Structure 1
C-alpha cells in the first residue's frame, strides 16, 4: 500500500499530475481542492495517497490534506459512488463545504455536480450524515493553508487546460466551454484560477 509520496512536481494536466520520486515518476489523479494548493512545476510536494485497484486498472489518487483523503475514502464506500465521482465531488467542494452541505441537507448543491443525480445525492445525505459527526468542529479548528503559487501558462493554454480539466471531471464540452468563457478575464493568468471560478459558477448556478 502506498500511503504517501514526496518528490518533485514535474507535470500537471488537471486532474492528472506526475511526481518524480528519486527518479521514478508517479502518476496521480488529484481533486481540484488539492491542485489549487500545489506548488509551481519543479517544486517539492508531499501528498497523502489512496491506491485503488480494479480488474482493468490501478490508479493512485493524491491529496494535500488528510481531511480530503478521509472524505474520499468515505465517499467511495457509498453505493453508486466510485473513485471518479468521489474525485469530482471533492473538486466541486472541499471537505468542510461538503460536511456543511450534508448538515444542511443541501440536495441542490450536490445535484449541481456532474455525475451526481438526485438519487445519488439523497443517498449521500443519508449515509454521510452519521459519518461526518464531529467533522465540522475539527475542520473549523484546523483552517486550511493558503493555496501555493500556480505555474504561469500562456493565455491560449489556460483556456484549453481549464476546459480539458472540466471535461475530465464529467462536464460536457459545451458546458465547460461556456463556463470558462464566462469567468475568463484579464485578471486570470493561470488555468487553476479559471477552473476554480468555473467550478464555483456551475455549482452555485
Structure 2
C-alpha cells in the first residue's frame, strides 16, 4: 500500500497531479479540494495517498490531508460509491464539510454534488453516520496547516484556452452538465480571474458550505 508521497510537483490540473519522487513520476488522481492547495510547479509537495487495484486498472489517489484520505476510504465502502464518485464528493466538500453534512443530516447539500441522487444521499447519511466516528480525534487542517503547501496555483487545464473555458471544462470533467457548468461560471466570472478562482467560486455557489 502506498500511503504517502513526497516529491516535486511536475504537472497539475484539476483532477490530477504528476509528482516526481526518486526519479519516478507518479500520476495521482486528486479531488478539487486538494488541487486548490497544490504549490507551484517544481516545488515540493506531500500527498496522503490510496492505491486502488482493479482487474482493469491500477489507480493512485492523493489528498491534501490524512483526514480527506481516510474519509475517502470510508466513502468507497458505502454501497454504490466507487472511487470516482468518492473523488467527486470530496471535490465539492472537504472532509470537515462532509462530516458537518452527515451530522446535520443535510441531504440537500449532498444531492447538489454530481452523481449523487436522493437515494445515494440518503444512503450516505445513514451509512456514514456510524462510520465518521472512526475519524474522531483527527486534526482538521486549515489552509495554512494542510499537509500540502498552500502556494499560488496557476489553475491550468488546457494551454491556450480562456480561464472561463478551462473552468467549464473542469466542472464538466467533474460530472456537471455543460449547461450547469456554463451557468455556474457565468455567475461568478469577472475580468482577470484565473480558472482556479472561477472553479473555486463556482463550486462554492453550487454547493454552499
Structure 1 pair 157–7 and aligned structure 2 pair: CA distance change class (3 A): farther
Verify the 8 A CA contact 1:39 1:151 in the aligned structure 2.
Answer: no
Residue from 150, 154, 165 that aligns with 1:151: 154
Runs of 4+ in 1 over 3 A off after TM superposition: 152-157
8 Å Cα contact 1:99-1:135 kept in structure 2: no
Paired with 2:126 and 2:53, the residues of 1 have a C-alpha distance of: 27
Q: Quick one: distance in 2 between partners of 1:5 and 1:64?
A: 11
Distance 1:170 1:80 in 2: 16
Task: Name the CA shift for 1:152/1:32 in 2 (closer, same or farther; >3 Å).
Answer: closer
Contact 1:18/1:26, CA 8 A, preserved across alignment: yes
Q: How does 1:1-205 map to 2 (within 5 A)?
A: 1-133=1-133, 135=135, 138=137, 142-146=140-144, 147-151=150-154, 156-186=161-191, 188=193, 190-204=194-208
TM-superposed CA distance for 1:200, in Å, is 1.1
2-structure distance, mates of 1:182, 1:15: 23
The structure richer in helix per residue is: 1
**Offset at 1:149?**
1.6
Q: Structure 2-normalised TM-score?
A: 0.88
Following the alignment from structure 1 to structure 2, what is the Cα–Cα distance between the partners of residues 134 and 17?
Answer: 28
RMSD (Å), alpha carbons: 2.1
Question: What is the CA-CA distance between 1:135 and the residue it aligns to?
Answer: 4.6
Aligned length: 202
For residues 91-122 of structure 1, give each alpha carbon's deviation from its aligned partner in whole angstroms, at most 9, with x where no partner exists: 11111111110011101000010000111000
Say if 1:152 and 1:196 are closer, same or farther in 2 by CA, change over 3 A.
closer
Could you list the runs of 5+ residues in structure 1 that have no partner in the other structure?
none
C-alpha distance in structure 1 between counterparts of 2:166 and 2:33, whole Å:
16
Gaps of 5+ in 2: 145-149
User: Structure 2 CA distance, aligned partners of 1:103 and 1:203?
Assistant: 17
Work out the CA distance in 2 between the residues paired with 1:152 and 1:176.
17
Classify 1:97/1:42 alpha carbon distance in 2 versus 1 (closer, same or farther; 3 Å).
same
Task: Rate the CA distance shift 1:65–1:152 in 2: closer, same or farther, 3 A.
Answer: closer
